[in-house]
Amino acid sequence: MSLPDGNENGNDSQLIAAILEGDVNAYSTLVLRYQGAIFNLMFRMTDSYEDAGDLAQETFIKAYEQLHRFQRGKKFFPWLYTIGLNHALNFLRHNKRMQWVSLEDCEIGSELDYPCQQEEDICAKLDYGQLHAGLNQLPLDYREAIMLRYHEGLSMDEVAEAMTLKLSAAKMRVHRGLAKLRSILEKNQNGKERT
Amino acid sequence: MEKKEPEEPYDAMADRIKTMIREMPQIQPPVRLLPAVMEAVKAKRGPLWLRAYRWARSPISVTFTPLRLVSAMALSALLVFSAFFLHERQNRNITLAESHKSIPVVFALDMPDAHSVQVIGSFNNWVPQPCELRKDNGAVRWILTVSLQPGRYEYAFLVDRKHMPHPHAELYQDDGFGDKNSVLALLIADSHVPVEVSAQKAQTDVTHAVEEARKAAIDDATLKGLLALGYEKGVEPESMANLVRIVSEVKMENLPLEPFVSKIKEGMAKGVPAGTIERVLNQKRQDYQFTRLVAADYLKKNGLPQEVAFEELVAFTESLYSGLSREDLTHTMEQSPTASLSILNRAVHLRASLKQLEFDEKLSDQIVSTGLEHNFFTPQQCGFARAIVAGKRKGLSDSKIAEAALLTMRNGGTVAGFCSQIGISSSDMTQHGPQIISPTCSMTGT
């Protein structure tokens, strides 16, 4: 799954230019294009369908209000995502629902060293329920980095832009996030088999 | 364009995870999301407003060609000559350089327990400037030092973000929005050349209003400043158009723009509703029209064939927000012998100060008329109102202050002499109100 490239009904830059020239309705194409990604980001952040809907709506309204600040030549989605992520973080802070998991506390464990055969078994048994649970156990900085990279199909440069990181830091987030997720998935499956 | 990343060794588990993340099903967003967003954005400020804002944020370009440079130099020379001529004619003992140089002003507030103190005013576009908490003359005070050109300024403190006029200012003025500002009058320089412009019909939306304003010769920097602030403060486009339209009309009526532009910025900075700002501007416009008529009438009656300079017009009109009525203003003019408008303005300023101090009315009248009669309200005596305020705050009676004041004025004395008569030291003057560090306005000066 990756984001549409935006050529069907005009690319993002053309749409933004049209909106700034007075065509408000052009914004609906942008909303349609990115509502799935933004809503799912909010759902991951809040685990609530209602809150995710409200936060997604507020994110699109905020982006519209800030559209004059959008730099030409940049990609719209990373910019929109930054607004959404900050908005969600503010919401969580305000509602005291922020669960801080320090990245340092979450270093990649090498304690689980499975033999090759066992890894193949884990691989074969992996389903979306387990993946979802594993993603939820990741610190959000890791989780969002790997979601942007692999689910939304962003380049490393765009991941860095969306998360306001340097390119090297973004690469590290994705790499470590993936390793940590793998470790969590292996641990979860191992625990399940023991019970 | 995605950069090619270095290939990693084949890892079946990692690949499986990546593929699953890529293909992970999404939760469908609620159907109402799109209509809700579109309904909200359509009700928001229009894209024309956005366009106006983009224009407002674009840099102002200034081009100099050699020809323009020569014209500019010639114009500067002309202005300097005109100013010098006016200056000499009014027989002032200050140099031209002094009349135009910046004057350091220290704002000090004795509230060491406050968590934060800032100063807002017409000199900083009502953008809060933080004060520093430090020791000053043995006391811990909040201090801000700024450099200001001669002129008339309104200001107030923000103490822990709450509006508070200076507790010891020599003059206060209603801001029109329900609060009071303090007034700081620094020596007013003479010179202004009003520009004639033709009238244009106003339209309702922002871009039209801006076009009309540009036709009315309002400079881009002023317009951009207003639009950018209006947008950032969430002013509705119709209201912004109305505000810009009023500014255009003010310009077309050949009234000074600065007090109107500053009032809009002040209102926006204080979060005043645009409708209230409009009401205040319309009242201000009427007041300026009234004062211009009265001042022009005074000049005509006294055979002074000069125009009412903007600086003088501003000072007269703004005194109406310091407690003086239109009747007080006309009365002061009627009792004045032939004098320049700048001298008359100092008399008006003093009358407003006395009124705010609840000084005895008859004695006030006597002080003002005697001062005018003896040509006392010259720039050299500009600390006079401050000295009276300091005397009053020290507990001296009105009659004692008036007696010393009348004696000083009749005998051609100075403010310093007046102070020593009523027992006021320079520290009494400087510990209250803003401290003005200027040779032409100091207690120990001429």
A56 & A137 share domain = no
A117 & A145 share domain = yes
A28–B33 CB contact, under 8 Å: no
A36–B12 CB contact, under 8 Å: no
Name the pLDDT band for A99 (thresholds 50, 70, 90).
low
In a domain, A6, yes or no: no
A78 & A121 share domain = no
pLDDT in tens, A22-40: 788 889 999 999 999 999 9
Tokens matching residue A189: 């499956």
In this complex, which of B12, B17, B44 lies closest to A65 when CB atoms are compared?
A: B44
A53–B3 CB contact, under 8 Å: no
Interface test with A, best of B2, B5, B7, B13 (most A CBs within 10 A): B13
For residue A111, the distance in angstroms to the closest alpha carbon of chain B comes to 17
**A21 vs B contacts (CB less than 8 Å):** 47, 51
Q: What is the pLDDT of residue B189?
A: 35
B24–A56 CB contact, under 8 Å: no
In this complex, which of A24, A27, A57 lies closest to B36 when CB atoms are compared?
A: A57
A73 & A126 share domain = no
A151–B37 CB contact, under 8 Å: no
Q: Rounded to whole angstroms, how far apart are CA atoms B440 and B436?
A: 10
A60–B37 CB contact, under 8 Å: yes
On the 0-12 / 13-18 / 19+ scale of CB atoms within 10 A, B76 is exposed
Task: Average the pLDDT over each of B95-99, B135-139, B186-190 and give the range with the smallest value.
Answer: B95-99
Interface test with A, best of B7, B31, B37 (most A CBs within 10 A): B37
In this complex, which of B21, B38, B50 lies closest to A151 when CB atoms are compared?
A: B21
Buried b (16+ CB within 10 A) or exposed e, B319-352: bbbbbbeeebbebbbeebeebbbbbbbbbbbbbb
Q: Domain span at residue A57?
A: 12-94
pLDDT in tens, B122-174: 888 888 888 888 776 667 778 888 877 777 788 888 988 888 888 777 778 88
A146–B1 CB contact, under 8 Å: no
**B14 vs A contacts (CB less than 8 Å):** 178, 182
A108 & A189 share domain = yes
Q: What is the pLDDT of residue B188?
A: 41
Using CA atoms in the order A78, A83, A87, A88, what is the torsion angle rounded to 10 degrees? -10
Task: Give percent of chain A with pLDDT exceeding 70.
Answer: 77
The closest alpha carbon to B342, from B371, B291, B305, B377, belongs to: B377
In this complex, which of A40, A64, A153 lies closest to B27 when CB atoms are compared?
A: A40
Mean pLDDT, residues B367-373 taken together: 88
For residue B46, the distance in angstroms to the closest alpha carbon of chain A comes to 7
Q: What is the pLDDT of residue B435?
A: 59
A39–B14 CB contact, under 8 Å: no
Interface test with B, best of A1, A44, A64 (most B CBs within 10 A): A64
Q: Rounded to whole angstroms, how far apart are CA atoms B250 and B253?
A: 5
Q: What is the pLDDT of residue B263?
A: 93
Q: Rounded to whole angstroms, how far apart are CA atoms B408 and B160?
A: 43
Q: What is the pLDDT of residue A78?
A: 94
Q: Choose between B428 and A157: higher pLDDT.
A: A157
Name the pLDDT band for B190 (thresholds 50, 70, 90).
very low
Q: Rounded to whole angstroms, how far apart are CA atoms B237 and A114?
A: 65
In a domain, A41, yes or no: yes
In A, minimum Cα distance to B46 occurs at A22
pLDDT value at B95 more than 60: no
Q: What is the pLDDT of residue B192?
A: 31
Q: What is the pLDDT of residue B177?
A: 84
pLDDT in tens, B29-76: 998 999 999 998 887 766 666 677 767 766 654 333 333 333 333 333
Domain B100-185 has CATH 1.25.40.80: no
The closest alpha carbon to A6, from A29, A37, A38, belongs to: A29
Q: What are B's interface residues with A at a Cβ cutoff of 8 A?
A: 1-3, 5, 12-14, 16-18, 20-30, 32-34, 36-38, 40-42, 44-48, 50-51, 53-54, 57
Q: What mean pLDDT is reported for chain B?
A: 75
B34–A35 CB contact, under 8 Å: yes
A90 & A116 share domain = no
**A121 vs B contacts (CB less than 8 Å):** none
Mean pLDDT, residues B180-192 taken together: 60
Q: What is the pLDDT of residue A168?
A: 93
In this complex, which of B13, B40, B50 lies closest to A20 when CB atoms are compared?
A: B50
pLDDT in tens, B279-295: 999 999 999 998 888 88
Tokens matching residue B15: 């690949």
**B18 vs A contacts (CB less than 8 Å):** 150, 178
Instruction: Of A58-67, B84-93, B170-179, B213-222, give the range with the top mean pLDDT.
Output: A58-67
Q: Rounded to whole angstroms, how far apart are CA atoms B379 and B342?
A: 9
A49–B38 CB contact, under 8 Å: no
Q: Rounded to whole angstroms, how far apart are CA atoms B136 and A61?
A: 50
Q: In Å, what is the CA distance from A183 to each residue of A108, A131, A151, B20?
A: 7, 12, 19, 16
Residue after which a domain boundary falls, among A56, A74, A94: A94
pLDDT in tens, B338-366: 878 888 888 888 888 888 888 998 999 88
**A150 vs B contacts (CB less than 8 Å):** 18, 21-22
In A, minimum Cα distance to B30 occurs at A53
Q: What is the pLDDT of residue B61?
A: 46
Residue after which a domain boundary falls, among A45, A66, A94: A94
For residue B262, the distance in angstroms to the closest alpha carbon of chain A comes to 26
**Contact assessment for residue B312 and residue B189, using Cβ atoms and an 8 Å cutoff:** no
Q: How many structural domains are present in chain A?
A: 2
A68–B53 CB contact, under 8 Å: yes
pLDDT in tens, A136-194: 899 989 999 999 999 999 999 999 999 989 999 999 999 999 999 988 988 887 766 65
The closest alpha carbon to A80, from A140, A161, A147, belongs to: A161
Interface test with A, best of B3, B15, B33, B44 (most A CBs within 10 A): B33
On the 0-12 / 13-18 / 19+ scale of CB atoms within 10 A, B298 is buried
Please count the CA atoms within 13 angstroms of the CA of B205 that sit on its side-chain side. Answer: 11
Residue after which a domain boundary falls, among A62, A94, A126: A94
In this complex, which of B14, B16, B40 lies closest to A61 when CB atoms are compared?
A: B40
Domain ranges of chain B: 45-89+193-286, 100-185
A31 & A88 share domain = yes
A166 & A122 share domain = yes
Q: What is the pLDDT of residue B82?
A: 30
A63 & A120 share domain = no
Tokens matching residue B317: 């009109």
Residue A122 gets the label, from left (phi > 0), alpha (psi -120 to 50) or beta, of: alpha
In a domain, A67, yes or no: yes
Name the pLDDT band for A122 (thresholds 50, 70, 90).
low
A156: domain CATH number is 1.10.10.10
Q: What is the pLDDT of residue B88?
A: 32
pLDDT in tens, B127-141: 888 888 877 666 777
ipTM attached to this prediction: 0.83
